[in-house]
Amino acid sequence: MKPSVTEQDLALTPSPALPSGHAGTFQDDGAQPAVPAAGPRSGAPSRRRPRREHLVSAIRRLRPALRQPGLVLSVAWIIALVLAIVLPDVVSPSEPTRATARRRLAPPGPDHLFGTDQLGRDLFSRMVHGASLSLRTAVLSVLVGLVIGAFLGLLAGFLQGWVDVVIMRVMDVLLAVPSLLLALTLIAVLGGGSINIAVAVGVSGIAVCARTMRAEVIHVRQSVFIEASFVCGARRSAVLRRHVLPNSAGPVVVLAALQFGPAILAVSALSFLGFGARPPTPEWGSMVAGGRDFLATAWWLSTMPGLTILLTVLAGNRVARALNGR
Amino acid sequence: MLRYALGRVVQAAMVLWATYTVSFVVLYRIPGDAVLERTRYEPTDITAEQMNTLRAEYGLDQSLVSQYLHRTADVLTGDLGRSLVNGRPVVELIGEALPWTLQIAGLALVVGLFFGAGLALLANYVQAGWLRQALLSLPPLGVAVPSFWLGLVLLQIFSFRITWFPATGHGGWRTMALPAITLAIPIGAQIAQVFAKSLEQALAETYIQTARAKGLGHGRILVGHATRNATLPALTIFGLVVGDLFAGSVIIETVFSRNGIGQLTAASISAQDMPVVQGLVLLAAIVYVLVNLAVDLTYPLLDPRVARLSRPVPSGA
């Protein structure tokens, strides 16, 4: 994962709106919005309007998005991928593991959209079925990094003292080892397989999540409404859960979205190296590896899954940037 | 300044020690018995007595703390142990592999730096909006491309279609070209992204307005005023770029069947050869820490304000 750019970007985004100037009024801040409202705000409807007017205002609200064709295409691509995950058998023309001896290494054409492989299996069907495994692994790895990282960052930023020092020094270790090497090391310990890959890639995302969360928690902790809650006699755990967490979760969630693309790259790289799912199971990274022996004769075998990975990472990065407010 | 430098050195040493300790705990305790691991590669008719002798030889019959102390003493004298697969010293294995990787990684770094920084400068120099947009859309593409696939595509085009470069082999610059380009593209893209952004920020500063008011040309302002100020924030990603070089070499050395650190890493992970894995982790950490230390110590030379703060700021923050 490449946190460098994202971290810097995040530093520029405004932190969640904090109530300032509420020093005198002790109000319950539990209902604070966790993420600042993004996008252009159209006038809020104060009374019921006819249906058509709703439609018009919805289109008007979408118009700025339509001015960014890249973003629209990215969202469309992600919707297509979700379809492939939810209904693989509807989308794909044949079974991913069915081999037909007569149609081996057929080039892309009307019969086989992406061609067939050395066993006569339809490449498009294999990619549709592989989407599920590749993307679920990537999402799981991001969640591992997000949940553990955010938790550690929350503890470090809120408790401070020696807890902070210990957690952040361990995070320094995680940052000192390149993420792919860290993932590989964990695979050496845990063994291969897609779940282990998800955990291994996820661990390398913990450090950046923890840093972002900690910085945000320290920022929120200094606000007046936290002080006010303590003055009111709230317990530390309650303040942490009701006030600190909702107000500091925004940036780390955006960071997690930004890590989705790199996670796909890392997961498919590990599969390419042969640490992922076992051969008959379709997976994008291992499909690229499978095409290595046919580079000169059947270009489509590695090119199609490779292009798919590229487009998915591009789409993921673009949507994440939009979430980040750009 | 001295206090700042000393703080950085101590911090770097702490990170190294912590990395060593964590990798020791993770790699030596969780996988279980190193002797059982080793017997997987040797004839299985090994007696229990021989196993115990082996355990004693590896020091596995001692407590964790005593193992840790012994191993730490060895590591401090430059002995990283022996490979479980072929019994050769880890330091020797790494020493043999390192030159191959350094060649490619060095070339890739130069190429990536040149084209990445060049692209960022060019994008901020051109006046036409569409050209700027087109140039700035290249780095996101370079960051998103899976390098293992990129290597295969380059092989397909330049080795099989038009036979400019050999697909594998180790001799001369022709075998180095494709791996280095594959490795350079994601790195150059990352450099371009960060540098273009910090250039843009520098160009928005008031001292640029002053320079412009004095009548300086666009190019002079860009090179003479903005670049030096923009280098500082861009320097912080250098440690990450070097880490990416390390990780990328695992992939390109597999794709192009080359010898080197990456090949050694992939092989030792597959064989669960823990002493070699720990050696490689330590090597990566040393490189990362040294690069970041160098960046931190260069900082005050480029920007005297950093030294005046005198208090070390957390790296990367």
pLDDT tens by residue, A187-244: 888 887 888 899 999 998 899 999 999 999 998 888 889 889 889 988 888 888 888 8
Looking at residue B316, what is its pLDDT?
A: 42
B163–chain A Cβ distance below 8 A for any pair: no
Chain-chain contact of B30 with A288 (C-beta, under 8 angstroms): no
Chain-chain contact of B285 with A180 (C-beta, under 8 angstroms): no
Q: Specify whether the CB–CB gap between A210 and A144 falls below 8 A.
A: no
B250: which residues sit within 8 A by CB, 6+ positions away? A180, A181, A184, A273, B261, B262, B265, B266
CB-nearest partner of A181 from B190, B247, B254? B247
Chain-chain contact of A169 with B15 (C-beta, under 8 angstroms): yes
pLDDT, mean of residues A78-89: 84
ipTM: 0.83
Q: What is the pLDDT of residues A69-81, one digit of tens each?
A: 888 888 888 988 8
Q: Specify whether the CB–CB gap between A24 and A5 falls below 8 A.
A: no
Looking at residue A37, what is its pLDDT?
A: 42
Q: Is the pLDDT of residue B13 over 50?
A: yes
Mean pLDDT taken over chain A: 78
Question: How many Å from the N-terminal Cα to the C-terminal Cα in chain A?
Answer: 21
**Please, which pLDDT band fits residue A140 given cuts at 50, 70 and 90?**
very high
Residues of chain A found within 8 Å of residue B272, distances taken between Cβ atoms: 188
Task: Give the closest-approach CA distance of B225 to chain A in angstroms.
Answer: 22
Q: Is the pLDDT of residue A278 over 90?
A: no
Q: Is the pLDDT of residue A83 over 80?
A: yes
More confident residue, B109 or A100: B109
B149–chain A Cβ distance below 8 A for any pair: yes
Give the amino acid at B150: L
pLDDT, mean of residues A266-280: 84
Q: Is the pLDDT of residue A288 over 70?
A: yes
Task: Give the closest-approach CA distance of A43 to chain B in angstroms.
Answer: 32
Q: What are phi and psi of B211, to 5 degrees?
A: -60, -40
Q: Is the pLDDT of residue A99 over 70?
A: no
Among A273, A286, A301, A318, the strongest candidate for a mutation testing the B interface, having the largest count of B CBs within 10 A, is A273
Nearest to A298, CA basis, from A103, A111, A99: A103
Chain-chain contact of A273 with B254 (C-beta, under 8 angstroms): yes
Mean pLDDT taken over chain B: 82
Task: Give the closest-approach CA distance of A90 to chain B in angstroms.
Answer: 28
More confident residue, A204 or A52: A204
CB-nearest partner of A185 from B18, B246, B281? B281
Listed range (A257-261, B245-249, B262-266, B299-303) with the worst mean pLDDT? B299-303
CB-nearest partner of B31 from A2, A189, A309? A189
More confident residue, B200 or A17: B200
Looking at residue B229, what is its pLDDT?
A: 83
pLDDT, mean of residues A3-8: 41
B317–chain A Cβ distance below 8 A for any pair: yes
Looking at residue A51, what is its pLDDT?
A: 67
Chain-chain contact of A274 with B19 (C-beta, under 8 angstroms): no
Q: Is the pLDDT of residue B41 over 60?
A: no
Among A10, A68, A71, A173, the strongest candidate for a mutation testing the B interface, having the largest count of B CBs within 10 A, is A173
Give the amino acid at A220: V
Chain-chain contact of B27 with A188 (C-beta, under 8 angstroms): yes
In terms of average pLDDT, the best of A52-61, A144-153, A296-305, B62-71 is A144-153
Which residue in chain B is spatially nearest to A176 when comparing CA positions? B285
CA distance B292 to B12: 8
pLDDT, mean of residues A286-312: 84
Residues of chain A found within 8 Å of residue B193, distances taken between Cβ atoms: 5
Looking at residue A199, what is its pLDDT?
A: 92
Task: Give the closest-approach CA distance of B107 to chain A in angstroms.
Answer: 19
Chain-chain contact of A296 with B27 (C-beta, under 8 angstroms): no
pLDDT, mean of residues A55-64: 72
pLDDT, mean of residues B170-183: 82
Q: Is the pLDDT of residue A2 over 70?
A: no
**Residue B179: in which H helix or E strand, if any?**
helix B172-203
Q: What is the pLDDT of residues B115-156, one digit of tens each?
A: 999 999 999 888 788 888 888 889 989 989 999 999 988 888
Residues of chain B found within 8 Å of residue A196, distances taken between Cβ atoms: none
Look-up: residue for tokens 């790296």? Answer: B315
B263–chain A Cβ distance below 8 A for any pair: no
Looking at residue A102, what is its pLDDT?
A: 67
Chain-chain contact of A176 with B194 (C-beta, under 8 angstroms): no
More confident residue, A74 or B160: A74
Looking at residue B44, what is its pLDDT?
A: 57
Q: Specify whether the CB–CB gap between B165 and B92 falls below 8 A.
A: no
Q: Is the pLDDT of residue A313 over 90?
A: yes
Task: Give the closest-approach CA distance of A30 to chain B in angstroms.
Answer: 29
B162–chain A Cβ distance below 8 A for any pair: no
